[in-house]
Structure 1
């Protein structure tokens, strides 16, 4: 294969993540005022493992020793499936964020005039942004085909579950029975599983 074409093809996943990050940063304006926000220590409890997960993908393999060993045979098929999962996951997360509108925040936050969103991506999944992010992590790990990707997925999963549990407590405090009913009628992350 032409070396330039190979480099272009291998850059799809970083490009998708960068496009998503740019969308995330540009969409941070026009949000409702914050009423309650988690502390820095609380933010670190899920932010640090998530940052470590990202680092596992971006650090050079030679710096990670055995974590850079393949867990499956590398192939263009696996890479292509990984790219598709990243695109699907990040697209789903972006759609969920757009649907959430002015209620969105990167941290666990309650807004002034916070609304309980139960439509669109939130109809069946209470945390579709996290679902999309985890799907993108799985796709990245599959495309990379190294043990560090598996560890990154595990770290991201633990971090996001920890974060969503705090969100769930706050939403129950704010919306009471409405949120309890929503919990009964929906899944936290993955329909049929969790």
Structure 2
């Protein structure tokens, strides 16, 4: 790949993540009041691996040592596929969050008048925001083409599985048989896999 165009195109991924982060922060408008929230220690159990995953992308390659070794030959095709996956993944998270509406929270919470959403992106996947995040992180890793990206995907997957398992326990407590039936009819994170 020609270095100058590749360097310019590499800015697309951080720009997409930045726009997404701004939307995520600013779009938290009118949410239902919280009746139950996880503890700080519980939040740390998945936030620490997510922060480590982000750092793997943000730190200069020389700091990451052997993890900055290329795992796949860098090409326009792999980079283009990576950029596309980031865009699709982040777009999917936005769609899922908008569909969730006032039930959304960045942490595990139960809300006043919390409703069980089973339509739209939630019809087949119970945690489509996490699915989209994993897709976007995988796309970032493919575009980076270094082992640190692979490690970041694994860290993010572990973090999101920790979070979704706790969230599912709370949803089972709150919605009982309705949630149990929903679990039977849908995938937790990745359709056909998990």
The question of a shared fold, defined as TM-score above 0.5 by the shorter chain, is answered with yes
- Change in Cα spacing, 1:2 to 1:75, as seen in structure 2 (3 Å) is closer
**Paired residues for 1:47-126 under 5 Å:** 47-126=47-126
SS in 2 for 1:186: coil
Aligned 1:103-182 pairs, distance under 5 A: 103-182=103-182
CA distance in 2, matches of 1:84, 1:192: 22
Q: Deviations over 1:4-27 (max 9, x none)?
A: x44331101001111111110111
1:27 aligns with 2:27: yes
Secondary structure of the residue that 1:64 maps to in structure 2? Answer: helix
**TM score, norm. by length of structure 2:** 0.97
Tell me the distance in 1 between the aligned counterparts of 2:9 and 2:70: 19
The alignment's C-alpha RMSD in Å is: 1.0
After alignment, is 141-150 or 70-79 more displaced? 70-79
Q: 1:146 Cα deviation (Å)?
A: 0.2
Q: Distance in 1 between matches of 2:16 and 2:141?
A: 14
Equivalent residues, number: 193
Structure 1 equivalent of residue 46 of structure 2: 46
Distance in 2 of aligned mates of 1:50 and 1:18: 16
Deviation at 1:2, TM superposition (A): 8.1
Q: Structure 1 segments of 4 or more deviating over 3 A?
A: none
**TM-score (norm. length: structure 1):** 0.97
What 5-or-longer segments of structure 1 have no aligned partner?
none
Structure 2: stretches of 5+ with no match in the other structure? none
CA distance in 2, matches of 1:111, 1:72: 45
